[in-house]
Amino acid sequence: MPVADPVKEPAAVAAVRSQAEAKKRKAFWTKQFYLWHWVSSAICLAAMLLFAFTGITLNHAKDIAAKPQVTERKLVLTSDLAKTVAFNGEADGKAPLPEELAAWLSKELRTAVKGKTAEWSEFEIYLSLPRPGGDAWLTIDRESGEVTYELTKRGAISYLNDLHKGRNTGGAWALFLDVFSVACVVFCLTGLALLWVHAKRRPKTWPVVIAGMVLPVIIIVFFVH
């Protein structure tokens, strides 16, 4: 009757334990990869669709016709408001409009004016109001108190394209773009990690991954001028 080797038996047990721990670690990280992959995809789903669509529209911008719509309005300041911008000998410069005037203009024109820097000269105040998908500006005659406001809209596609570029979109959208970018990085890296986890059962994984990385480089080096 064979007798168990007292030296080899603990080694075998240790090997089994090591394999069990390795499987446990792999299962833990696979679960984490799945968790972060779907969470990041949920965060960036809507924005990813927007950026994919506007990537096409930007790439074919010259083929998409846009007819700007220009609207002009004229207002006259009340006597009290006119006094806040009347020329009193101060030098030309840049400064926001008085708060009371900015609040009145925002209400009348339905556009944000408060806190925006205007250009002050002896006879006129000029305020640029750029926005995604269009442009706007207003002038105030410091003698007559007449306000001229012009708004240009270039359509929905132009608006979405400017969202893609972050053009004149403000701090909140810029912060969202940062969060979206981080979510995309997490989404891509966890996707790569999941490919690595299942690569043994999917032998075509790495050729496809390498092709996806090499193809843009080839196009840039040989075809982009």
Decide which of 72 and 6 is more confident. 72
How many CB atoms within 10 Å of residue 104? 20
pTM over 0.75: yes
Phi-psi region of 167 (alpha: psi -120 to 50; beta: other; left: phi over 0): beta
What are the two backbone dihedrals, phi and then psi, of residue 106, each rounded to the nearest 5 degrees?
-60, -40
Asked if 43 contacts 179 with a C-beta cutoff of 8 angstroms, the reply is yes
Task: List, in sequence order, every residue forming a beta bridge with 117; answer none if it has no partner.
Answer: 96
C-alpha span between 144 and 191 (Å, rounded): 64
What is the per-residue pLDDT across 11-32, written as a single tens digit (0 to 9) for each?
Answer: 777 777 777 787 788 888 888 9
- Quickly state the pLDDT bin for 5 (edges 50, 70, 90): low
How far is residue 34's CA from residue 42's CA, in Å, rounded to a whole number?
A: 12
Average pLDDT over residues 115-126: 93
What pLDDT, on the 0 to 100 scale, is given for residue 97?
94
Least-confidence region, from 12-16, 82-86, 104-108, 164-168: 12-16
3-class DSSP state of 128: strand
Q: Does residue 204 surpass a pLDDT of 90?
A: no
Q: Which residues pair with 158 in a beta bridge?
A: none
Rounded Cα distance, 162 and 60, in Å = 14
Average of per-residue pLDDT values in the chain: 89
47 pLDDT exceeds 70?
A: yes
Q: In this model, does residue 91 exceed pLDDT 90?
A: no
Give the mean model confidence (pLDDT) for residues 116-130: 94
Give the pLDDT confidence score for residue 201 in this predicted structure: 83
Structural tokens at position 60: 């074919």
CA torsion angle for 70, 97, 112, 58 (degrees, to 10)? Answer: 60
What pLDDT score was predicted for residue 28?
87
**Closest by CA position to 109, among listed 162, 163, 71, 79:** 71
pLDDT of residue 51: 93
Q: What is the pLDDT of residue 178?
A: 94
Residue 142 is encoded by which pair of tokens? Answer: 């410091």
Mean pLDDT over residues 91-103, rounded? 90
Helices (H), the chain: 8-59, 79-85, 99-109, 156-165, 170-197, 205-223
What is the Cα 19 distance to its own chain's centre? 45
Mean pLDDT, range 98-104, rounded to an integer: 95
Residue 9 has pLDDT above 80, yes or no: no
